[in-house]
A and B are shown apart, each in its own frame.
Chain A
């Protein structure tokens, strides 16, 4: 049940750990430098936790892990620091969603993996609670 991989992904899943380039560009997740880039071109950087809803969809046909929920809401959020992120949307109904609305990151359960039900947690976005 790929325990090591789940463990390796903690930083990006729990804390939105990405990278920032010296020219200000922000990217997610953290990855090695591209070919032709200096190895230290990108520095560790924690993404902004708020942003605008860029797009969304309500999936009605999902993988078996999501059997119990009739709809899985997924969106793309343009964060305040310019980084784009794809994430499940939570604490909202499709009817509440409008492109451009303020969203914020929360840490929620992503489900279980393996026969022994290792719990996986990660980022999701919800409509901003307080303005």
Chain B
């Protein structure tokens, strides 16, 4: 595991979920004659004027409001996504300008499938932990796409999660340690010129998601000399509802520890945002002293694991921006035709 010289933590957090939802039943109506088991109830759909950048901006604003720092103090704005609006031109610079940061920052984009946001988080720990900077904004945001009729279509959703890394003494939750575990595993990928990703069906399970997440999580616990029982909450990457529940069990967590951070049932798999907004939802309710285990997953493949401890500062800071539940509560159901039109699936 890795621990920076200078203790670090999360000084601000923020989530964003679009208001539109499509029911999994509705997708099944079009593609499966309304039959079959459904991996989630509904998923979020970005509106016609939303994308990774716009969502990242709102999540970032929420995080800044909770952190109560001047955006000029940010040393980096790093956006992780697999749906950056441009292939060449970083989302980071636009998000940084919208948030009113200084120009003297780092603002590159990150990619590692669904763990692009936590990659930025880990790097942020390094920048702050080394003393090179005081604050780094790490954002995971995606407007994920699934091929029409593909299994992924039921779950590929949209959201943004933003975490500001800063000195531990200012944190609302300190980060005790982190580790990353990766291997070259082709469970899910997309070539640059293709609009939709390839999904490896069952291959995305055991050798991919479960192996990397459980290995990373177990290893972190072992190195810290702890067990799942020492934690109040666990947040895992959530491509659907079953996977995080299963891996939680594998690592030793009980369902009650995972409930607060499991949002996939309502909003689907928001890819780079998924584990980060799960953490945001936990931070909305956690108490001082609570321990949180966070383990993300990115296809390709790898997992980033973190051990966090909530501080006294969270209780007041959490009220400085809308809670994750406020975004979950606002939902406008749309039908498949509207969804297809908005997501650009109707070929002209």
Contacts and interface: CB of A to CB of B under 8 A. Distances in A.
Q: Do A's and B's CB atoms come within 8 Å in the complex?
A: yes
A106 to B, nearest CB: 6
B54 A107 contact: yes
Interface of A: 10, 14-15, 46, 68-69, 88, 90-91, 106-110, 119, 121, 124, 129-130
A121 B98 contact: yes
B98 A109 contact: no
B54 A106 contact: yes
Interface string B70-86: 00000000000000011
Contact of A10 (B47, B97, B326, B341): B97
6 contacts: A14-B97, A14-B98, A15-B98, A119-B86, A124-B49, A130-B323
Contacts of B98: 14-15, 107, 121
Interface string B310-335: 00000000000011001100100000
A109 B326 contact: no
Interface in B15-61: 19, 47-51, 53-54, 57-58
Contacts of A130: 322-323, 326
A109 B49 contact: yes
Contact of A129 (B54, B85, B330): B330
Contacts of A108: 49-50, 54
Nearest to B330: A129
Given A91-B19, A129-B330, A107 B58 contact: yes
B49 A129 contact: no
Contacts, number: 48
Contacts of A46: 100
Contact of B57 (A107, A119, A129): A107
Nearest to B327: A129
A121 B48 contact: no
Given A15-B100, A119-B85, A109 B54 contact: yes
A57 to B, nearest CB: 17
A37 B89 CA distance: 41
Nearest to B61: A107
B94 A121 contact: yes
Contacts of B341: 68
B80 to A, nearest CB: 19
Nearest to A124: B49
A129 B328 CA distance: 11
A91 B47 contact: yes
B279 to A, nearest CB: 20
Nearest to A110: B49
Given A90-B47, A109-B51, A110-B49, 5 more contacts: A14-B97, A107-B58, A109-B48, A121-B94, A129-B330
Contacts of B19: 91
Given A106-B58, A129-B322, A90 B100 contact: no
Contacts of A10: 97
Interface in B89-138: 94, 97-98, 100
